[in-house]
Amino acid sequence: MKDRTRFRRYEGGDPLAPPVDLAEALDAIGEDVMAGYSPERAMQEFLRRGGQDQRGLDDLARRVAERRRELLSRHNLDGTLQEIKELLDRAVLEERKQLARDAMMDDGDRAFREMQLDAAWSDGARPSPAAAVSELASYDWQSRQAREDYEKIKDLLGRELLDQRFAGMKQALENATDEDRARVNEMLQDLNELLDAHRRGEDTDEQFERFMDQHGDFFPERPGNVEELLDSLAQRAAAAQRMRNSMTQEQRDELDALAGQAFGSPELMDSLSQLDANLQALRPGEDWGGSERMDGEEGLGLGDGTGVFQDLADLDQLSEQLSQSYGGARMDDLDLDQLARQLGEQAAVDARTLQRLEKALRESGTLKRDSAGQLTLTPKAMRQLGKALLRDVAQRLSGRQGQRDLDKAGAAGERSGATREWAFGDTEPWDVTRTVLNGVLRRAGDPDGPLVEIGDVEVQETEARTQAAVALLVDTSFSMAMDGRWVPMKRTALALHTLIRSRFRGDHLQLIGFGRHAEVMEIEQLTALDAMWDKGTNLHHALLLANRHFRKHPNAQPVLLIVTDGEPTSHLEPDGEVWFSYPPHPLTVAYAVRELDNARRLGAQTTFFRLGEDPGLARFIDSMAQRVDGRVVAPELDDLGAAVVGSYLGSRRGGRGGAGGRGGSGGPDLGGWFGGRGSWVG
């Protein structure tokens, strides 16, 4: 037997579309992580918002909600009753016409028939459709057309009741013969026997196979086993029950009374009632008790209404899937086929792209689970995010270069990539490749010469580079979070960390966060730090840690960078306890000044980055900077990263430039700043 190639419709959207944009996703996730979100939540938020050219879960959920509202506002549940009323109107009208035309009929007989019609169904007094159908059941119709319209009511009821349980039956049984109806009754009996056996726990595999062989044409979805058959039947039966629950009591009473007329066979209702009982017992978890309010203008028949209630159930499931708010939620939970049915193919393509994006994020090495099972950003992700921030910094620096290498062909240093001929006294390592190549080229003209002569030797040039011990002190007090400075602060720290780790690896960077107390932090710890709501700005403790860092690297140039939006309001007591006071106490300021002086004695080049427009803070920072011959930069929040990186690069060139923004080191001295706050403690 030859293999057959099977083709199906391509379901991946545009095959020429670019791959998912992880860079955009990583930038957005990094921003949210630095704002205090967990990486898991940050990823979910990006998937919810979507990207620049990618619809997110929120947009899909909005469309699902709109579709649901549209179904509820368009329809009402009176469709079958309205259709029965129309058939009754037509039947009675045709009968009246026939009575008026029949000249051979006795006047008394005509009057009696007119009275029967008036009592059952007339414009002046219309009883319920169920009562009219029942009263006219024994009426001897004179009009063939009227009799056919009346018989259509029974046929309609039968097809509608079956369509509620088996989608498509209303159309399939139109103009059905008695033989067709007998087949339906036989199928229902066999189905109930199968479900009864399954309900009793019997092995029904063979019985199911026989049932499908005989009645499979009633089930175009072709279930593979009893459980699949049960699922499809129970979902539709539950939708039919929810539709019934949503009707008024009058509508339910009318349909119950009419149901016995279906196909003119009460056995049909008995079989359907038994089927409903089996399904509710076997699938109690389905929603059998829900209801909806429908007050639109378009009437729904029983079968179509059941389909709409199935659509509503599908939309509710999609809404839950799109919310991703339950435990263990994943994008793979989305039912793309269901989404395509309800919102169209493009919605499924958008959702599939989000699934690919989530999978790529989890598998690309940007996210990992820690020992507690929580997602965290990997070092690779931190590097990528840092590089993105550096690109932004580079644009803001407007092309100003941060070259700080002191080129010098000398003894110790890093290799520059250049080589030169060896000279007496050189201690640089040989460039073996260039040396051997020189010997080979020389021997091409003198084959008998030595393999290597002294003139062949080349050494690798090195360049002496300055080293820096950098302390970046970032304010983590509650005002930083309250005034929207939390994320720019983290972005700045990550940009500087990435620059030093990638380009200036010989420098020693220490990140110090200071709120009520200070703490040395790794970059991963700082970027994941939640907003701190403890009051206190302990610059004294932060400077203590910075000076300790400078002393550990006595041969490096100290660079002190301080980002803050407040005056110092806490300090460390000799016993290590934190002391807090607001307004700032002179003793607290004195402790901070003393450590700042120590940093100056260690040779630190100091730059303050003042955030905010408080005049008191400006006077204090200016005085501190003037005291240590430092600089003050007052950048906008968006320019903070460029200002700090530029200042670092400028400091490493041995100068004091390199950062944009307003600045200045003038202003009153510290004594002047303390005016009105108590005597200054030196």
Residue with tokens 């807090």: 580
* Alpha-carbon span 431 to 168, nearest angstrom: 84
Spatial separation of the C-alpha atoms in residues 426 and 460, rounded to whole Å: 10
| pLDDT 10s digits, 210-260 | 999 999 999 988 999 999 999 999 999 999 999 999 999 999 999 988 887
Looking at the predicted structure, is the pLDDT value of residue 4 above 60?
A: no
Identify the pLDDT of residue 374.
62
pLDDT of residue 543 exceeding 90, the answer is yes
Strands (E), 306-440: 367-369, 375-377, 409-421
437-441, 477-481, 544-548, 654-658: the lowest-pLDDT one:
654-658
Average pLDDT of every residue of the chain: 82
User: How confident is residue 75, by pLDDT bands cut at 50, 70 and 90?
Assistant: very high
The CA–CA distances, whole Å, from 441 to 117, 444, 450, 451 equal 122, 5, 12, 10
Q: Indicate if the pLDDT at residue 45 is higher than 60.
A: yes
Confidence check: pLDDT of 610 > 50: yes
**What is the DSSP annotation of 95-145?**
HHHHHHH-TTS-HHHHHHHHHHHHHHS-SS----HHHHHHHGGG---S-HH
Average the pLDDT over each of 265-279, 417-431, 627-641 and give the range with the smallest value: 417-431
- The rounded percent of the chain whose pLDDT value lies above 70 is 82
Q: Is the pLDDT of residue 558 over 80?
A: yes
Q: Which of 261-265, 487-491, 621-625 has the lowest mean pLDDT?
A: 261-265
148-157, 423-432, 437-446: which range is least confident on average?
423-432
Burial letters 589-609, b for 16+ CB under 10 A, else e: bbbbbebbebbbebebbbbbb
For residue 397, what pLDDT is reported? 65
Say what the pTM is: 0.62
Question: Is residue 446 over pLDDT 80?
Answer: no
- Provide the pLDDT for residue 372: 62
Span 468-673 CATH architecture: 3-Layer(aba) Sandwich (3.40)
- pLDDT per residue over 319-330, tens digit each? 999 988 887 788
Quick one: pLDDT at residue 636? 83
Residue 412 has pLDDT above 50, yes or no: no
Q: Which of 400-414, 479-493, 522-536, 655-669 has the highest mean pLDDT?
A: 479-493
Check whether 411 has a pLDDT greater than 60: no
* pLDDT value, residue 614: 85
Question: What does the pLDDT look like over 620-675, one tens digit per residue?
Answer: 999 999 999 999 988 887 788 788 888 888 776 654 444 444 444 333 333 333 33
Domain with CATH 3.40.50.410 in the chain: 468-673
Q: Radius of gyration over alpha carbons of the chain, in Å?
A: 42
